[in-house]
Amino acid sequence: MEDVEVRIAGSHRTVNVIVDVTEEQEGGVSLEIISEVSQSLSEAMDADPQDDGRPYNLEVSSPGVSRPLTEPRHWRRNVGRLVSVELVDGDELVGRLIDARDTLVVVRPQLPVKKGMKPKVGQEQELAYDRIRKGTVQVEFTHAEAEEPGGEDV
């Protein structure tokens, strides 16, 4: 279980649960897993003796691409993807996540180019987690192979 959020509107509740596979598992959350978790949670909530009986909607989902990368395991699951990293000093970089270790990530930044040109990449940077304010996966419409090595160091 990644996150639980309860929203209340009048007498109605919406319980939003986000689940993910363990770090050791390959791939993502299947519909079968979502269904099993939903069924188990629904049964547990219906059987709760302290529940006041108000209606609720249970929403079980997998983490979306917009989920912030907050734990080393989140970063590890996204190695190879394009990420945006906001640093605590206010700097921001967008680049390819090369590696994610226990204490830091390695990012190969994309260098700014003119619109319509293929992206160029800079030198790999090691960023300790305590230097990162926020990290998110970027949606890509081209493949990683489209990046051209070279350019200036960042």
Question: What single string gives the DSSP state of each residue in 34-84?
Answer: HHHHHHHHHHHHHH-TT-----EEEEEEPPPTTSB--SHHHHHHTTTSEEE
What CATH number is attached to the domain comprising 55?
Answer: 3.30.70
pLDDT at 54: 87
Question: For position 146, what pLDDT does the model report?
Answer: 47
Of 12, 31, 61, which residue constitutes the final position of a domain?
61
What per-residue confidence (pLDDT) applies to 28?
Answer: 72
Structural domain of 95: 72-146
Average pLDDT estimate for 82-94: 95
- Using 50, 70 and 90 to split pLDDT, how confident is the model at 129? very high
Q: How confident is the model at residue 119 (pLDDT cuts 50, 70, 90)?
A: confident
Residue 131 lies in a domain: yes
User: Would you say 64 and 48 are in contact if contact means Cβ atoms under 8 Å apart?
Assistant: no
Please tell me whether residues 48 and 82 are part of one structural domain.
Answer: no
pLDDT value of residue 45: 92
> Can you give the pLDDT at residue 111?
86
| 121 band by pLDDT with thresholds 50, 70 and 90 | confident
In total, the chain counts a number of residues equal to 154
- Measured CA to CA in angstroms, residue 36 lies from 22, 30, 42, 55, 74 at distances of 16, 10, 10, 21, 23
